[in-house]
Amino acid sequence: MSDFLPEDLIQEILFKLPIKSLVRCTSLSRTWNSLIKSPAFISKHLQRTISSTDHQSLFLLRLCSKEREEQYSLRLDNQDFNEHMQLHFPFESFESYFHVIGSCNGLICLAKVIQRFTVSFIFWNPLIQKYVNTEPRILGHLYSFVGFGYDSRANDYKLIRMVNSQKSKFLSENFPKMELYSLNEGSWRSIPQTAPLRYDTDQHFSSAFLNGAVHWIANRADQHEGIHNVGFGV
């Protein structure tokens, strides 16, 4: 077909296809494989999907059975919360469990936890069944804020982590250590912290990414009541 249709028309057709169909198209020819996997095509396809009038918001639902078998599914954002798709979970959870850090543009960030220790973070694309593992640079039994978001300027997915070694969490005058992981670079870097963070959050709460910033639900150390929104721009 590519011998009879202009390249720009082929791209327009491919832009309208869902992810699973695009994955199948990569095996049709080297030219299509190179085109579909190019950063420019991926970025443009993502933007068109988000701006499409047919685009529908989905919720990620995590269920864990008594046998510690984890199940994930996508649910429609409607009154009945109907199931859209059951996801194949490719990770073993026999001696561990997984905590959902957040999701962005179809990419899910998980923390693998063994005996309350975070041993690795996983960036998982369930539609194409590919994932990337990384270990935290600051190890040990630590209390932490962890969030996941997308840097549109750099076209990069980032993981932000603020950790405190004290059992008192973030309620002391100590400055928490901060580190940021770049998926493009495949590495961590430290972020200078110039003030104490006097907020506390439940580590089992997922973060939310909105308007270029990662957000957490938290409360202040000097207030016994009230809920606050703590944000960090990526």
Which residue in the block uniquely carries the two structure tokens 């001696």?
A: 95
Please state, in angstroms and rounded to a whole number, the distance separating the CA atoms of residues 87 and 65: 16
Residue 88: exposure state from Cβ atoms within 10 A (0-12, 13-18, ≥19):
exposed
Q: Are the C-beta atoms of 29 and 36 separated by less than 8 Å?
A: no
Residue 201: exposure state from Cβ atoms within 10 A (0-12, 13-18, ≥19):
buried
State the pLDDT at residue 170.
Answer: 47
Q: Are the C-beta atoms of 143 and 203 separated by less than 8 Å?
A: yes
pTM > 0.75: yes or no: no
If one counts every other C-beta atom within 10 angstroms of the C-beta of residue 35, the result is 19
Which residue in the block uniquely carries the two structure tokens 């990337």?
A: 132
Please state, in angstroms and rounded to a whole number, the distance separating the CA atoms of residues 118 and 184: 22
Both structure tokens of 108:
């899910």
| Residue ranges of the chain whose pLDDT lies below 70 | 1-3, 50-69, 76-85, 93-94, 139-144, 164-176, 193-206, 216-234
Q: Are the C-beta atoms of 148 and 134 separated by less than 8 Å?
A: no
CA angle 35, 40, 42 (to 5 degrees): 75
State the pLDDT at residue 62.
Answer: 66
Nearest CA to 165 among 194, 138, 136?
Answer: 138
Both structure tokens of 11:
């791209």
Q: Is the dihedral of CA 104, 138, 175, 225 positive or negative?
A: positive
CA dihedral 91, 120, 150, 38 (to 10 degrees): -60
Q: Please give the single-letter amino acid code of residue 49.
A: T
Please state, in angstroms and rounded to a whole number, the distance separating the CA atoms of residues 97 and 91: 10
State the pLDDT at residue 230.
Answer: 59
